Structure 1
Amino acid sequence: MPPRTRGTALRHRLAELRGPDVPAKALDARALAALAANPGCRRRAILDGAGVDKTALAGALGAPSAFGQSQFALTRGNAFEAKVKADGGVELLRLVREHLDPGAEPAGRAAEVAAVPDLSAIGPEGRTARTALALREAAEAAGHGEDGEGGEGGGWVLLDHPMLALEVAGSPAFLEPDAVVVHPDGSWTVVEIKSFPMLDGSADPSKVGAAARQAAVYVLALEEVAARLDPAPRVRHDVLLVCPKDFSNLPTASAVDVRKQRAVTARQLARLTRVQDIADALPEGTCFAPDLPAEQLTAAVEAVPATYAPECLSACELAFHCRQRSRAADEVTTLGRAVRAELGGLATVEDVLSAARGESGDADDPAVAALRRAAALRAEALGVPCP
């Protein structure tokens, strides 16, 4: 089957899984980062690939999740982003120069002025093409479109909410970073604007880590755009994280090296089973439309294997449903990936307890031996007979 025909067939199949007349939910970088953190979960891969609204699906299954930002947080974040980008991005460009490129001086224009190309177009494909064109024009202006040696340098270019595309498990995902800045030397920087504060120059490490993983997805997508140019412009691995300073609404920033997150995300995304393969393995008539009867919807969801871990609670809307099922099946993954890795072939809690009591398991298995040793130490400490 020709690639175009295969792609059309896959889109039709994913539309059937999503449900008739149900619009697709866009797969953003936050969801991609979470998917890359758990590449073994086929359930999330097919639901995200098909554009299923997992929040509505979780509610229909009777296990709603509080995952996501509040409306107040979204409003505050949008207001802060608008402040950072006001006046053509003067303040944003100042932060980029201060933290990433202090020696850069654009040719023939004031250092604080950036060109802001119009990226509007019809549909995500059109916006992606328009973004790629703007990036190519900026690279050529910097002298990277002809001999690759670089010219005298172009000016600063600010791409406000560009659209990038990244293939994930055989299905395209369209991504929208807060901004991408093109330096006078032609290199590209991803900018992440967050509403959590930087107190005394540092922010919550967990939130910074989440922002870094999200930015790493944008870096991967930018690298694909750069690879299509000859020579390829440099995509910087130091992204700019912009946050409110202390308890004010004034912007401050920090450079974040995302090389590690980029490498991990690329490796994990490459491990994902192709969406086409997962879809082909599903029973005929499988549909995840949230208006279906609960029994039918549950059967459809259970037809796709999941890989639950406690970390899913902070990253996936279906986490509460999957946790219920994991507990009902007595799976040790409910206790965490680290515990699961230590237990080897012992897949259920009952298997673990039985091995610890000496009722089952190979005594030469290191996991079984460790469990029995732990049981003996516990019995000794409590003064009870050893099981």
Structure 2
Amino acid sequence: MQDRTESRLDRIRGSAPPRRHDARTIAALTRNPGCARRGVLDAAGVDKDLLARQVGFPAAFGQSRFAIVRGNVFEARVKADGCVDLLRMFHECLGSEPGGTEPGGTAAGEPLLVTGDAEPDETLAARHERTVAALRTASGTDRPVLITHPLLRLAVGGQDVHLEPDLVLVRPGGLFHVVEIKSFPVIDGQAEGEKVAAAAIQAAVYVLALRRLLGRPDAVSHDVVLVCPRDFSNAPMATRIDVRRQLLVLDHQLARLSAVDALVAALPPDLTFDLAPGPDGRPTRPAAELAAGLSRLDARYTPDCLSMCELAFRCRHEAAGRTAALGPSVREELGGVETVAEVLELAAGTRAPTADQAEAADRLRTTARMYAAGLAAGPATEHAAGDRGPTP
């Protein structure tokens, strides 16, 4: 079954190289687990950004080149001089002193820096094995260990996904902390809430992957370390973030994800989104064929998709006129009412509700009466207020 699923996913992707998952795509996938379209395309490794452009719905999505360069420069600054500044910040943030003493009086030796970056011609499997060996060795040492860019794995929808956190800190005694380095600033002790939330869920992905790899959930702390620039400088500062809530959501949503093999089995055998380029560098498959293929994959659009999925504008176009496009709260309140046209007809009383729509229809009619009464009273109230003249 696994080989058959892999073969089908290869056909869906075509001859173009696969796009790799990362913590951002997993976080986005778990925020909308009912979207079969994203589930299949991500599992197959289809380039959704290129696909969106080919079908005429390009989206300004992802980090700018400037942001990527800025992030790389800041990460290099944080890791400079053997991560001396980073180790000092861990002492301030976590209450442990590398090279000194852990809370409770446990002696700590000199910190050890281990690189998990890819070596020349190293396969992903070999790099992952090296990461596992480094993690297991680090858990048994009596001194702090910093492992840069370890390669982790996490099963998502029945498929193994490789992940690469910035850093993992292993404290004496074998307690692991995930470290995320971000280039957005913390100004006067405050950072942009949406960016912090995104960093927290990405860090939770790494924590979950690390716990499953080690097989000991208690060995990986739910306290992750977020390192950002302080104010308007390039000087780093560390903040501890509790990701227990994000871990609960992530674990629950990953469990709810439909297995990829079940999704693929229901698709036409000839379905493909081959984006292999021709001599001019542009994909050779016609846009009409790609658009027709997308229509075969059920999408579950919500307004949140605009900030996390490359195909959001295409899906929003398809969802125009449907209540689901107005957000989860509207969809839940209007359960059984699929289109905006039905909403207006039920509110006006010109459409007889079905048994499933009866409760929603009653709310809609009540809201319409209140709205109409407010409109009728509005001008009169304003006129009466005007007749009173100026207040003495």
Pick from 178, 184, 187 the counterpart of residue 175 of structure 2.
187
Is the CA contact (8 Å cut-off) linking 1:119 and 1:131 kept in structure 2?
Answer: no
TM-score after normalising by structure 1: 0.89
CA distance in 1, matches of 2:335, 2:300: 16
Pick from 358, 369, 373 the counterpart of residue 362 of structure 2.
369
263-272 vs 85-94, which moves further: 85-94
- Residue of structure 1 equivalent to 2:267: 282
TM-score after normalising by structure 2: 0.88
For residue 360 of structure 1, report the CA deviation from its aligned partner.
2.1
- Residue of structure 1 equivalent to 2:332: 341
- Report the secondary structure of 1:79's partner residue: helix
Q: How does 1:93-242 map to 2 (within 5 A)?
A: 93-102=87-96, 105=100, 107=107, 109-110=109-110, 113-118=111-116, 120=118, 122-141=122-141, 154-227=142-215, 234-242=219-227
For residue 90 of structure 1, report the CA deviation from its aligned partner.
1.6
CA distance in 1, matches of 2:7, 2:167: 33
CA distance in 2, matches of 1:49, 1:319: 18
Pick from 302, 323, 326 the counterpart of residue 309 of structure 1.
302
Pick from 289, 294, 302 the counterpart of residue 296 of structure 1.
289
Cα distance change of structure 1 residues 372 and 118 upon mapping to structure 2, 3 Å threshold = closer
- Report the secondary structure of 1:322's partner residue: helix
- Residue of structure 2 equivalent to 1:84: 78
1:317-349 residue CA offsets vs partner (Å, 9 max, x unmatched): 00000000111xx21111111111110111111
CA distance in 2, matches of 1:38, 1:233: 28
1:331-381 residue CA offsets vs partner (Å, 9 max, x unmatched): 111111111111011111111111111122159832211100011112222
- Residue of structure 2 equivalent to 1:250: 235
- Report the secondary structure of 1:268's partner residue: helix
- Residue of structure 1 equivalent to 2:387: none
One-letter amino acid of the counterpart of residue 304, structure 1: L
CA distance in 2, matches of 1:168, 1:352: 37
1:235-267 residue CA offsets vs partner (Å, 9 max, x unmatched): 000100000000000000110000000110110
- Report the secondary structure of 1:167's partner residue: strand
Is the CA contact (8 Å cut-off) linking 2:109 and 2:144 kept in structure 1?
Answer: no
Aligned CA-pair RMSD: 1.8
Pick from 298, 320, 323 the counterpart of residue 332 of structure 1.
323
CA distance in 1, matches of 2:338, 2:202: 32
CA distance in 1, matches of 2:252, 2:334: 25
Percent identity among equivalent residues? 47
- Residue of structure 1 equivalent to 2:389: none
Task: Structure 1: state its 5+ residue gaps.
Answer: 1-5, 142-153
CA distance in 2, matches of 1:114, 1:97: 15
Is the CA contact (8 Å cut-off) linking 2:108 and 2:144 kept in structure 1?
Answer: no
Is the CA contact (8 Å cut-off) linking 1:162 and 1:177 kept in structure 2?
Answer: yes
For residue 201 of structure 1, report the CA deviation from its aligned partner.
1.8
CA distance in 1, matches of 2:231, 2:271: 50
- Report the secondary structure of 1:311's partner residue: helix
Is the CA contact (8 Å cut-off) linking 2:114 and 2:146 kept in structure 1?
Answer: yes
One-letter amino acid of the counterpart of residue 29, structure 1: A
Q: How many residues align?
A: 359
Cα distance change of structure 1 residues 242 and 119 upon mapping to structure 2, 3 Å threshold = same
Give the 4+ runs in structure 1 shifted more than 6 A: none
One-letter amino acid of the counterpart of residue 136, structure 2: R
Is the CA contact (8 Å cut-off) linking 1:309 and 1:334 kept in structure 2?
Answer: yes
Is the CA contact (8 Å cut-off) linking 1:186 and 1:233 kept in structure 2?
Answer: no
167-176 vs 94-103, which moves further: 94-103
- Residue of structure 2 equivalent to 1:3: none
For residue 10 of structure 1, report the CA deviation from its aligned partner.
2.3
Is the CA contact (8 Å cut-off) linking 1:312 and 1:319 kept in structure 2?
Answer: yes
CA distance in 2, matches of 1:117, 1:57: 36
Is the CA contact (8 Å cut-off) linking 1:165 and 1:173 kept in structure 2?
Answer: yes
Is the CA contact (8 Å cut-off) linking 1:57 and 1:289 kept in structure 2?
Answer: no
For residue 118 of structure 1, report the CA deviation from its aligned partner.
5.0
